[in-house]
Amino acid sequence: MTGTLTIAGLGPGDEALVTPEVSAALAMATDILGYVPYVARVTPREGLTLHPSDNRMELQRAGDALRLASEGRHVVMVSAGDPGVFAMASAVFEALEASPQWQGLPIRVLPGVTAMLAAAACAGAPLGHDFCAINLSDNLKPWPMIEKRLRLAAEADFAIAMYNPRSASRPEGFGRALSVLKEAGCGERLVIFAHAVSTPEERIETLMLHEAQPEMADMKTLVIVGNSATRRVGRWVYAPRHAR
């Protein structure tokens, strides 16, 4: 097998946040696969074939990438942010596990700046102490599992980065998540709504969780709920590094 498969993160939006390693992989690629808006971020050129696909076709997309690489192509699978954070790296390895004939392919995973790190940097340092990340989409896991994880994260006093908070197909989920956190005693915690970080649409809003409304988030928003010690200093939000 002479082909390769690279799974790459394009960062949160600004081209300046794409790593040089990822840029080099894109420059060498013969084929780019990914969700439609992510593939659209790659500049077309001669010798490069773009393969955009729907967001619900992850395993098919992963299988296509493995097949193209097995045919000698230099394939790059793109994700926004980091490919290993709620993105395509896991899907590729799931497809690879089911396809032993391709397990000898050269595969690389190239990290990117994930949304929670970009959002935290814009806000200050809200992830400066222990934190967790929870995907609020129930497309691939049941909602009771999401609720359980939110309750336990609140009980453990983690800062919580929440991905995919509110989509058109499931507008009620984020409101339920806010209710769970309020019931868990987080109403007085600071919460950051980071919208379209590193793009011209960037907007950062910080308020108390009991003031938060579901309509404040969409699929371009990364939400960070602080821990019980998270505080403001001027316009910045940070979590102290010490715990009492």
Domains of the chain: which residue ranges? Answer: 4-113, 116-238
- 9 φψ region: left (φ > 0), alpha (ψ -120 to 50), beta (else): beta
List pLDDT tens digits, range 36-79.
999 999 999 999 999 999 988 999 999 999 999 999 999 999 99
pLDDT at 1 over 80: no
The mean predicted confidence, pLDDT, of the chain is 96
What is the 8-class DSSP label of residue 209?
Answer: G
Task: Check residue 171 and give its pLDDT.
Answer: 80
Task: Check residue 168 and give its pLDDT.
Answer: 78
Strand partners, 8: 78, 110
Task: Check residue 19 and give its pLDDT.
Answer: 98
Dist CA 133 CA 161 (whole Å): 5
User: The pTM is what?
Assistant: 0.93
Quickly name the fold that domain 116-238 has: 3.30.950
How far, rounded to the nearest angstrom, does the alpha carbon of residue 62 sit from its chain's CA centroid? 18
Dist CA 195 CA 203 (whole Å): 5
List pLDDT tens digits, range 186-236.
999 999 999 999 999 999 999 999 999 999 999 999 999 999 999 999 999
Which percentage of the chain shows pLDDT scores above 70? 100
Strand partners, 81: 11
Residue with the bigger pLDDT between 168 and 84: it is 84
pLDDT band at 156 (very low <50, low <70, confident <90, very high): very high
Q: Please choose, from the candidates 130, 39, 114, the residue with its C-alpha nearest in 3D space to the C-alpha of residue 77.
A: 39
Task: Check residue 170 and give its pLDDT.
Answer: 80
* CA dist list (Å): 32 to 4, 76, 78, 174, 242: 12, 5, 7, 33, 44
Identity (one letter) of the amino acid at 171? P
Task: Check residue 243 and give its pLDDT.
Answer: 77
List pLDDT tens digits, range 10-26.
999 999 999 999 999 99
Strand ranges inside the chain, DSSP E = 4-9, 31-35, 49-53, 74-79, 107-110, 124-125, 131-135, 159-163, 190-195, 203-208, 221-225, 231-233, 236-238
58-70 and 88-97 helices, crossing angle to 10°: 70
- 185 φψ region: left (φ > 0), alpha (ψ -120 to 50), beta (else): left
Burial 152-172 (b: 16+ CB within 10 A, else e): ebbeeebbbbbbbbbeeebee
The CATH class, in words, for 4-113 is alpha beta
How many residues would you count in the chain?
Answer: 244
